Chains A and B, each alone.
Chain A
Amino acid sequence: MRRMSEAIHVEELHRSFGATRALAGVDLSVRRGSVLGLLGPNGAGKTTMVRILATLLRPDAGRAVVGGHDVVSQAQRVRQLVGLTGQYASVDEKLTGRENLVLIARLLGQSRAAARARADELLREFELEHAAARAAKHYSGGMRRRLDLAASLVGRPEILFLDEPTTGLDPRARLSLWQLVRRLVAAGTTVLLTTQYLEEADALADEIVMLDHGRVIAAGTADQLKARVGARSLVLSLTDESQLPAVAALLEAAGGQPPQVNGRQISVPACDAGLLRAVVRRLDESGLKVDEIALRSPSLDDVFLALTGHATGEDGGEDGGYVPG
């Protein structure tokens, strides 16, 4: 019996490249119509996971079922259901945007007229009409990603894999891509997204799975993960950096815990709701000046640091899928 509510089901997935274990027993599950964010630093195994789910790579052990079909024994059926946009699944740079989309539609068995209509529809939807007749190699980074995404949607996939869809994009292009992804999800597409950006997983994903060295180190909603790190913190931004030591002493006196300093920002765990009031009163009395006082919930960066002992950006290794074997 398969549960209809599950779009992707992964059990004990293993994959090694030579001596490197890219995936060391991963379990995960994605509800139909939801977005799962697969979060982790380079080398965590994210790309390997996506490549296995998209049938580009075989697992060494374990099972992966996508849309009710096994990715190994029913690979061709899986391919009919999924779309892949990734750092490494690309378009033909020498062809125009429209030609790229027509090519894929034709490969999917559409008639010439239907293929052209679908291509034009996607070009319109992705705001690429003005560049439809230009070769993809002349596209900007953002346009290129939109074309990549459009190319993976030609066959109207039920399940979409996005492998680091916004890596290297400027903030505006990133936001525009996020909008597109949200629209797809609203229309019922299931999305599995890998990212190194905690902010991105936070913004798009219903649930997050954190990978590190091929293992799941945490899973849950963004809020659940943040709750694991615990308390919120009180963050103060100073106008005058020379007042840092005085403000630090004041915070320690009010909260009883040594504060952390980061540039002009200084923060202290806010376990007690009364802390904010106490700090404001003391600041007032002391005459010290601050720009901003805020109670901040922990970011996913904090979660990652707390769970792994290293920050997301620190692991310099290549992504698991590209370790030479």
Chain B
Amino acid sequence: MVDMSPADGPADGGLLAGLRQTGTLAWRTLLQIRHNPWELGDFSIQPVLFLLLFLFVFGGAIAGSTADYLQFILPGVIVMNMVFVTVYVGHGLNTDLTKGMFDRLRALPIARWAPLAGRIVADLVKQAWSIILLLGVGFLLGFRLGTSPLGLLGMALLVLTVALAMSWIMVLVGVLARDPEHVQLFGFTALFPVTFVSNVFVPVETMPGWLQVVVAVNPVSQLADAARGLLVGGPVLGPALWSLAWALGITAVFAPLSVRALNRRLARG
């Protein structure tokens, strides 16, 4: 028999089909939340709890009043929470890899990048939800927008951009870790110092000099500064550009590393 089919092309239907598959896979990740409401709590209750605790426990001592501290802490908590939520990418990816779901997906005639992209897109939805939630609670507590709705939108976009970049780090962790628990362990062990050695919770002035240097270059500080500028007022351009530079740098380093590690893991059997 003569094979009449054309030479093998992207039988998956190209970019558009790939994007649709990514959407479907993102929907799947979000659907998981419906059956595991505690997961929603993880990125809903936890950040709100953080905000309330820091606000009412430390607010008076750090800023003189909770009202003043709210103006300082809300953008910080938004950034801190973003960093933690990226762990879900690694955790979910690792679960798929270890439980065999990734193989199921790879055996389907879909775009090769769709499973990974689906994870990352779902994560961005979770990120957006957290930002909206924190802003909502913030406004209820009396947060005053010092800029404009445009500034608020800019803050959200900037935080999401950096989240996208940081997701690549967690993709790498998710690929390299033995099981999902290790992703969480590694994720939080590495991320706690990164978020706390920053200007998220307190102004840097009271820290020892050497620490101030570390805090100043920490991308979390840069992003928190930019977020404050965009929500409350103050310098925006400098910290925003630094944040974007960090995002670009992290992506340039970790995206290829992650993809390579993933391919190596898959080739291992």
Q: Chain A interface (Cβ within 8 Å of chain B)?
A: 1-2, 4, 17, 22, 47-48, 51, 54-58, 68-69, 73-77, 79-80, 82-84, 86-96, 99, 103-104, 106-109, 135, 151-152, 155, 320-325
Residues of B within 8 A of A106 (CB): 24
Q: A30 → chain B, closest Cβ, in Å?
A: 17
Interface contacts (Cβ under 8 Å), in number, total: 107
Q: A214 → chain B, closest Cβ, in Å?
A: 13
Most chain B CB inside 10 Å of its own CB: which residue of A58, A76, A82:
A76
Residues of B within 8 A of A99 (CB): 28, 31
Q: B18 → chain A, closest Cβ, in Å?
A: 11
Residues of B within 8 A of A17 (CB): 268-269
The answer to whether A51 and B269 touch across the interface, beta carbons within 8 angstroms, is: yes
Cα distance, A205 to B267, chains bound together (Å): 30
Q: Which residue of B lies closest to A94 (CB)?
A: B32
Residues of B within 8 A of A1 (CB): 1
User: Per-position contact with A for B102-114: 1 when CB-CB < 8 Å, else 0?
Assistant: 0111111110001
B252 contacts chain A at the CB level, 8 A cutoff:
no
Q: Which residue of B lies closest to A136 (CB)?
A: B35
The answer to whether A94 and B109 touch across the interface, beta carbons within 8 angstroms, is: no
Residues of B within 8 A of A324 (CB): 268
The answer to whether B104 and A151 touch across the interface, beta carbons within 8 angstroms, is: yes
Residues of A within 8 A of B3 (CB): 2, 68
Cα distance, A77 to B266, chains bound together (Å): 20
Closest 9 CB pairs of A and B: A90-B100, A79-B109, A74-B8, A76-B11, A94-B32, A88-B100, A84-B107, A89-B103, A321-B269
A-B residue pairs in contact (CB < 8 Å), sample of 26: A17-B269, A22-B269, A47-B269, A57-B266, A57-B267, A57-B269, A74-B8, A75-B8, A76-B11, A76-B12, A77-B11, A77-B109, A79-B11, A82-B107, A84-B107, A90-B100, A90-B103, A95-B31, A99-B31, A103-B24, A104-B108, A108-B109, A108-B110, A152-B104, A320-B269, A323-B269
With A55-B106, A77-B5, A320-B269 given, can you name 10 additional A-B contacts, CB distance below 8 Å?
Answer: A56-B106, A79-B11, A91-B104, A94-B36, A95-B32, A99-B31, A107-B105, A108-B110, A152-B104, A155-B108
Residues of A within 8 A of B104 (CB): 84, 89-91, 104, 151-152
Residues of B within 8 A of A152 (CB): 104
B21 contacts chain A at the CB level, 8 A cutoff:
yes
Cα distance, A75 to B105, chains bound together (Å): 14
The answer to whether B101 and A135 touch across the interface, beta carbons within 8 angstroms, is: no
The answer to whether B101 and A91 touch across the interface, beta carbons within 8 angstroms, is: yes
Cα distance, A323 to B267, chains bound together (Å): 12
Contact of A107 among B8, B35, B108, B268 (CB under 8 A): B108
Residues of B within 8 A of A89 (CB): 100, 103-104, 107
Q: B133 → chain A, closest Cβ, in Å?
A: 22
Q: Chain B interface (Cβ within 8 Å of chain A)?
A: 1, 3, 5, 8, 10-13, 17, 21, 24-25, 28, 31-32, 35-36, 99-101, 103-110, 114, 266-269
Cα distance, A56 to B266, chains bound together (Å): 8
Q: Which residue of A lies closest to B11 (CB)?
A: A76
Q: Given the known A-B contacts A17-B269, A57-B267, are A95 and B28 also in contact in the complex, defined by CB atoms under 8 Å?
A: yes
The answer to whether B25 and A94 touch across the interface, beta carbons within 8 angstroms, is: no
Q: A121 → chain B, closest Cβ, in Å?
A: 19
Cα distance, A320 to B269, chains bound together (Å): 8
Residues of A within 8 A of B13 (CB): 109
Residues of A within 8 A of B10 (CB): 76
The answer to whether A108 and B108 touch across the interface, beta carbons within 8 angstroms, is: yes
The answer to whether B109 and A76 touch across the interface, beta carbons within 8 angstroms, is: yes
The answer to whether B268 and A92 touch across the interface, beta carbons within 8 angstroms, is: no
Cα distance, A17 to B109, chains bound together (Å): 26
Cα distance, A152 to B110, chains bound together (Å): 14
Cα distance, A109 to B110, chains bound together (Å): 9
Most chain B CB inside 10 Å of its own CB: which residue of A90, A96, A107, A151:
A107
Cα distance, A152 to B108, chains bound together (Å): 9
Q: Which residue of B lies closest to A84 (CB)?
A: B107
Cα distance, A95 to B36, chains bound together (Å): 9
Residues of B within 8 A of A80 (CB): 11, 109
The answer to whether A92 and B1 touch across the interface, beta carbons within 8 angstroms, is: no
The answer to whether A92 and B24 touch across the interface, beta carbons within 8 angstroms, is: no
Q: A155 → chain B, closest Cβ, in Å?
A: 8
